[in-house]
Structure 1
Amino acid sequence: MREYQTNKLHLKFDYETIERDFDIYQIKQKAEGKKYISQEVLDNVSEEQYITAVQWIYGNTALVLLEKDKISTYAFKKKMRERFPDITVCQIKGLFDEKVREKYFGEGDIQLARLLFNSLRPYKSEIFHRNNIMGKLFYQSPKWKSKDTVYFVQIHLDYSFHLILKVVTFTKDTGDSGGYVFDKSTGNFRRALKTDKGTKYVKKNKNTKSTVPFLNIENMEKFEASKMGVLKQFVEDVRTYLRDYIEINFETMEEMMSHDKKWEKYSIKVKENKSKIYEKEAAKRLSSHKIAIVDECNTETSKKITDDFQAFLKKVYGVGSKLGDSVSSGTYNLRIIHDKGYYKGENDLHDEIFNKCIVQHITVENYKKCDLEKNPEFYAIIQELFIKEDIVNKQLTTFNWSETLGKSGKTWAFVSFKKDDTDKNTKKKDQYTYYRVFITPDGKLSFDSCAGRSWMRRKDEWKNIIRYHQELIDKRKSEKRYDENIEGFFYTDINDICTIYKTNACVYPRFDGIGGELFLLKADKELDKEQMIDALLHFKEDSPELVKKNKEEFEQVLNNLKNRKEEYVDKKAFYKDIGRGKLREGFNEYLRAEYRILLNFSKSKENLPLYDLDAMTDIHYSISGDSSGKLVKYFVGSAKALNGSVARSNPIRKIIGKTLKAEEILPMLTATFVRNEQYTVIPFPYKYIREYFQIS
């Protein structure tokens, strides 16, 4: 495997230059009964003109960065004490001393890096707005602002130096308690002061995020409005404005692993026309059941959904359906309801339970009309109906278990968990409810659950599972490992429980190279006719065999150009005129290399590796360890060829156990249901656990 680029940073500091240009202070607030430094302190310090950056560290402690000699140490301390009597100020000197740095900046100078990143001042351009809010660095495309909301991509460096791009959303406050405003004089987004009037914003909770695609390579504008476009801008900003103080480089996959561990690619070899095969199997299954549409809304949209879904079933699968007054057993039921916000917690149809009925909901508020044969929502409905039927019948059919993992003769158990609300009486935290599915060799399913609070009284497998989980939680706290989270457990032997972790590490494509290519694509909308004629003739000399195989197409393109009266030709139209296949790809690559002209960003198998875009597809894994324990690391891309956009990053996960086998784990990631044709990021039985306990 080539050296894919990860999101982990390697940092190099110039301590001499930092001390030459800046004064750094640690401030602490020692207020009785307060564990954390107050927001008022951070806000007021941030608003001072002589302050370059503020970084909250932990608890009651923060760092402050000032330009050298902007204010004397005596004057700064005095000013802080006058405004906040419970604040202590300590100047940090001697950055060459490793003990000093570790004391104030933590391991690897993590807090110094964050402080320097936060020194990037707010600015506005046509492409990006940069804001520093609460000691956090935010980038925003002007397109990410609507009538009532505004959202940003936050640059976050975790304690293991993974650079994480988070979407943070703010919405207009209907009252007057909003904590953020757009400054009327600068246009910058900042904390609201008591004197601010007008529109204010509040931060939305973590369950109501806006969406920014991880990557979009359709054109420069869409790339810039993706997370990788933001990352490109951030890296350029650091290398431009902070180059004298800090150098950043991204760790590669090879650096992450020791030399004796190799990454491999795993993908399923499938028959051609796979979608048609799925449709044929699905049609057979659908035709053996009644299909009912239960409209609980009776609106124009719900009627449209009914008509569209019936037409979809007929066109794609050749099956009919009927309207139903209520959910019935022995039937595939599509139930049209409102989203949860409509019910406001009263008579919420989402919460109704139908024992032994196969029911899938669709909400009128979230329905998007698409071409019938390409509507992903309808295909997903079919998938969900089949999964729910498996759960009702307690028999796995969407995956050929008996011919794969069932061959071992072992029963597999998969365990997930959900954190309970903090007990208001005992105030106990880290309490969980656990959920489990057993799968026998012939694919039979059984489910059970356990309340974590009662595990000490148990005398069955639950005691082993929950005690093991508690040990991992305690270990995580003692080691301060906040860069990975446990997602679940599975086992065939209770004495060998395997653990799935999701880490903060992921693979980043070569965003700088992608940006350079898209800049070339954007550069010229029209091309000089004579230059293109000259380029075609030189291309013929350079690639005689390719031109010879496509002689007729080549001559037609050349003659069309010669016969044009205009001096310039439209780039997009010219690209289409070249035809298809290797001739067009070859000439496009030749123009890029020899003339610095790009007709199209190529998504061919040959071009994708140049920018690590091939890491966005298929499953990549490595396995290591010995008889004492095994470790499988993997990340999951798309099962399909890459098109113009990638919705999410592909976090690296790891599975730890004594007797792990990659050939057993990987097939459970490739259970493509119906026509969904996407891999699952964790073994598919966890999907069954979620569905079972949601409907029961």
Structure 2
Amino acid sequence: MFINTNKIKFNIIDFDLKYDVFIITVRNDSEIKYLPKRSKIIPRELSDKLLSVYNYSGKCMYLLFHKNKINLQQFHDLSKELEICKNNKIYQDVKLNLLLNSLTKYKNDAIFNISGHFLQWVKDTKDKRVYLEYRFYQGILQQSVITYTKVNEVQYQVYYANGKDLCEDPSDTYDALYIKKGDKNHRNTVGFINVENIGKYQNTKVYLFSQVIKLIETYLDDILVIDNLKEEYNVIRWEKPKGIHKNMLALLSQIGFHIVNLCEDEQCIAQLKKLMMHAFDKNNINQNDISVGQELDENKINIRIIHNSDYYKNSELKDDHITSMNFAIQHITLEELTPEYNNFTIKNKKRSNIGQKIIFEGLIKYEIIHKTFHLAKIENAFIQEEWKYYMKENNQFYLLEFKDHIPEYQHLDAHDISDELSRSYRKDFYAIETSDHTFLKIEENLKYHPLPDFKIIENRLYECSQFDFIDKSVLIRMIESFDKNNRDCYEGVLLNIFTKKIKNLLDNLKCLPEKEIDREQIKKAFPSDRKKPYIKRKLYQCIYEQTGKRVDAELEKPDVVVTYMGGHIYINYKQEYENMYYTVGKISERNFRNNMSKTNQIKKLVNCSPSDFEVYSRMLCVDFVRVNQLTAIPFVFKYLREYSSMQQ
């Protein structure tokens, strides 16, 4: 069936309830370049409902729509169109990308890290060969156009394979795309990762389109169980064992992936067992070798469902993830870190090669950050109630302790703090006092930053609001606080320069008659210094962190959905002599999706045994991340941060 709109023919070629989307081809007599979602060529009634656009040639485009967003009554005669397009090469490639897109449709609920490239030949021009490249990076499907220039000395060769026969031109259907490298020094040399070698073509890079399609279709029902979620989520994270089935490698990253599933019902357990059967080598394991539930069986591979619903039911925190597809919740009960669990090993040596146990990232917990924060009851949180929790912030001391299971907050004087904690000079810290009066003190190596205004969360992560006006008195207090918190970072001549610049800025601001100051007035009050620009940059960053407004740049607000991020980030540790170092992940602000390699180091000053660390580690779970650069705060202490912000 064709629908004519603005001289464009819309022809439906696929409709599949299984993937919640269908494809429409767009044909036009004139050549069509790549179109954004909002385009004059695409009618408004369809552009608002568009999911993705794939442009495979100059005159043909493929549009993906969600099944619930389009009136399906207007389309009919589907079977006839499907018969025409089923064997078409372009249809197969659109189908591949449709499946890949389905895998990342719920990327915040089920994260699939797939390292690899998929190339689709588009066309050859007089001196160029054009490809569409599809690349997965940290669960995100990226699409780009690659052009390889033809030169006199051939620097590359591209072969299309059907079975064992190789040819240089693509046929209607092909099994693999072989790309052979040329000169290593040539800038257009093709290079890839995660490559398989097949048979006699051991020196050839191979990407098996048909195998990828088959693999994804095989496991799609098992993996995307989130389609049926109506109750609570449980997130299970497991790492790739040595004996994993080789065909599963295309769907696993080096660190594993998330499985989102229902509560512990029979259907859930059956799905998990079925998935594990595919993940492990079927020759070495069967369904009876897998145990799903809370009990540990030393003769089986144990899958624990990590869930603690009472944490939400008995607290004032809303469980918004039930209705939102933007968040996944992962948390672990205290029983999961018992000595029984940590000392558990599988006696069977053959199965230990497959994996001694399914490893849970028990220290990671995703939690929604709300725009309005309040002190929460912590009845069932991961806390040792017989312990005391101290925090030093801007030379002020705070204490959190429990009496009859009720949290109590105190603002302490310096003389009420023990000598072991007070010997921290100017550094802010978090500290835990155990029941036997030993201390675990944590100091931040980086300069402490105050808790940001939650107005920032409304504007990010992909934002920037326009800078209108800011109250002069608020700005002056902010600069004075900045001066106090950063003065100890400078010495000698630099300290004199820092003091002089801040003093001049405050004097200039106080002379202004207006009560509200805009961006240009701040710039004039703080003139540029090319030799010492870092002081101004740090101050502007401080204003941005606390107000969400940029002084030094005016950015356009992109057309994306605002994302609120919070939760637990990976915490690793290492023993070095008598000190133990914790490494807490820090996500880059500029490229937070792709860059999680930068880290802060948090140093533990008091030595403890490995068994004690397992107890301490629960207290170091990151339960809040700053909006700007997403710096991690240890769990429990976020409540003290909230309390201290209310006291100011």
Mark yes or no: TM-score above 0.5.
Answer: no
Select the structure that is richer in helix. 1
Q: TM-score, normalised to structure 2's length?
A: 0.29
Q: TM-score, normalised to structure 1's length?
A: 0.27
